[in-house]
Homo-oligomer: A and B are copies of this chain.
Amino acid sequence: MTAAGDRLGPTLFERSRPGRGGGKVPHPPKDTLSRIPSDQLRAEGPNLPEVAEPELTRHFVNLSQLNYAVDSGFYPLGSCTMKWNPKVNEWAARLTGFASLHPFAPDELAQGTLQLLWEVEQWLAEIAGMRAVTLQPSAGAQGELTGILMVRAYHRSRGDLARTEVLVPDSAHGTNPATASMAGFATVSIPSAPDGGVDLDAFRAALSPKTAAVMITNPSTLGLFESRIGELLAAVHAAGALAYMDGANLNAIMGRFKPGEAGFDVMHFNVHKTFSTPHGGGGPGAGPVGVGEKLLPFLPVPRVLREPDGLFRLERPGERTASIGRVRSFAGNTGVLVRAYAYLRAHGASGLREVSDDAVLAANYMKSQVTGVLDVPFSRHCMHEFVASSATLKAQTGIRTLDVAKRLIDYGFHPPTIYFPLTVEEALLIEPTETEALETLDAFVQALRSIVDEAHSDPDLLHSAPHSSPVRRLDEATAARQPNLRWRPMTGRQMPCPD
């Protein structure tokens, strides 16, 4: 019920009645399956919900309204770049020519998509100053894995088998160390300096002939540009290691800094952050990887090639033997890349630079306004996001960042990322993005101000927040202790239906 009444609803299973639904598919001939041995057949059909389309639609319409989304309000979730998702991109991805193309379609039937992919590769390579780009990885994390596997292949191709470590700053996103492990490397954590950058001495000390690569997020997860980047890169290369840039924050520096030009050997992009493709409640995204000269031979298969006659094709199996191989089926998250292409074309060179400029401008503006309301640990100019902290507030009032975040919900905002990066106590990572109006930024800061006042005047209000959301704070402990991960009809264990 949108406009009235209780806003929670039963599950599809509770809405199900035997015999409902249907009308979608013609009925098949009766004895079709008799040619299949009976032990290969299912004795009973799966117990899927049976609902008619009206109930189905209401179910999902009403559930959708329980969500907070970029399309409903300000979503300054730091590190995730919840910028506007242009609607024309959705239209484009749904064009029949794009949406109905089979991934094994012969190249001659796929020239539109192949050209699009090829062009996206060129645009990304130019933006990153890289030699080449693969569009295959399905998300940033898979891009990281692809990149680090190429690093691995590079060292092995040179017979250098001793490099078993990857250096990762302690402020890094969790995917960085997790990736290193998946690629068979040990992670060495590098502490941050007081200014938020990598501690150069600690970094140099950690570098060794065992270092395969260093993964640097730049701008960092603190929203800071790594100002000692020249020294870092020089040290890495002097040690014979390669430099991986986690480019998830590239949205801050387009047209301002090209990682490849600066000396990075490999990086990934998060198109669902930098290039506005929707986050989809958790995905899909895409995580292209750009490489410099050294890693070129190791790019995963298949690449998109442009023939001298101007036609496009996919690499054939076995065509490039040094490749690390496939990281997934088919050519990549093409539907996501169509959206990214639309975004790139809509902005062009000047627009992309403006995107970054406006993102950085908005973040610094908010930072200037939040200063004095909460702690702002790093005073130098930030990039597209900045870290605040409730450490002082907590000391004074006992109110934690979690409480501030939950209370922001009552003010109509999605909270920022909290307790990340791990290196800042009671952190809030605030990323306004370039697509939020000044009034919105001001309203959010005003809400923070009010909440800080409330923390002093009425702390209980915050402890028990949120008050206006469809549900209130959840019992996460029970959820983990007695996990109920699938609907089970008729057992005593499950929770009662709210109806």
A2 touches B68 (CB 8 A): yes
Contact of A413 among B5, B70, B87 (CB under 8 A): B5
Contact with B along A137-178 (1 / 0, CB 8 A): 000000000000000000000000000000000000000000
Contact of A61 among B20, B71, B410, B437 (CB under 8 A): B71
Contact with B along A31-72 (1 / 0, CB 8 A): 000000000000000000000111101100110011111111
Contact of A466 among B4, B23, B65, B468 (CB under 8 A): B4
List 8 A–B pairs whose Cβ atoms lie within 8 Å, in order of A's numbering. A2-B67, A2-B72, A3-B470, A4-B413, A52-B437, A54-B84, A55-B437, A61-B72
Answer yes or no: A97 CB below 8 A from chain B CBs.
Answer: no
Answer yes or no: A73 CB below 8 A from chain B CBs.
Answer: yes
Answer yes or no: A6 CB below 8 A from chain B CBs.
Answer: yes
Answer yes or no: A411 CB below 8 A from chain B CBs.
Answer: yes
Answer yes or no: A238 CB below 8 A from chain B CBs.
Answer: no
A58 touches B86 (CB 8 A): no
Max chain B C-beta neighbours (<10 A), residue from A72, A84, A435, A436 = A72
Q: How far apart are A74's CB and chain B's nearest CB, in angstroms?
A: 9
A2 to chain B: closest residue by CB: B72
B2 touches A73 (CB 8 A): yes
Answer yes or no: A461 CB below 8 A from chain B CBs.
Answer: no
CB neighbours (8 Å) of A410 from chain B are 4-5
Within residues 59 to 107 of chain A, which ones have a CB less than 8 A from any CB in chain B? 61-62, 65-73, 84, 86-87
A1 touches B436 (CB 8 A): no
Answer yes or no: A115 CB below 8 A from chain B CBs.
Answer: no
B1 touches A412 (CB 8 A): yes
Answer yes or no: A409 CB below 8 A from chain B CBs.
Answer: yes
Q: How far apart are A358's CB and chain B's nearest CB, in angstroms?
A: 11
Q: How far apart are A461's CB and chain B's nearest CB, in angstroms?
A: 15
Answer yes or no: A346 CB below 8 A from chain B CBs.
Answer: yes
Q: How far apart are A498's CB and chain B's nearest CB, in angstroms?
A: 12
CB neighbours (8 Å) of A58 from chain B are 71-73
Answer yes or no: A469 CB below 8 A from chain B CBs.
Answer: yes
Contact of A436 among B3, B23, B54, B68 (CB under 8 A): B54
Contact of A468 among B5, B57, B62, B469 (CB under 8 A): B5
CB neighbours (8 Å) of A61 from chain B are 71-72
A435 to chain B: closest residue by CB: B54
CB neighbours (8 Å) of A468 from chain B are 4-5
| A2, B73: Cα distance in complex, Å | 8
Contact with B along A435-464 (1 / 0, CB 8 A): 111000000000000000000000000000
CB neighbours (8 Å) of A62 from chain B are 72-73
Contact with B along A197-230 (1 / 0, CB 8 A): 0000000000000000000000000000000000
| A391, B325: Cα distance in complex, Å | 79
CB neighbours (8 Å) of A346 from chain B are 23
| A413, B58: Cα distance in complex, Å | 13
B409 touches A4 (CB 8 A): yes
With contacts A54-B84, A86-B53 taken as known, whether A66 is within 8 angstroms of B3 at the C-beta atoms is: yes
B4 touches A68 (CB 8 A): yes
A87 touches B57 (CB 8 A): yes
Ranked 5 nearest A-B pairs via Cβ: A5-B412, A1-B412, A2-B72, A54-B84, A3-B68
CB neighbours (8 Å) of A470 from chain B are 3
A72 touches B1 (CB 8 A): yes
Contact with B along A468-481 (1 / 0, CB 8 A): 11100000000000
Q: How far apart are A365's CB and chain B's nearest CB, in angstroms?
A: 16
CB neighbours (8 Å) of A1 from chain B are 68, 72-73, 412-413
| A4, B73: Cα distance in complex, Å | 10
CB neighbours (8 Å) of A2 from chain B are 65-69, 72-73
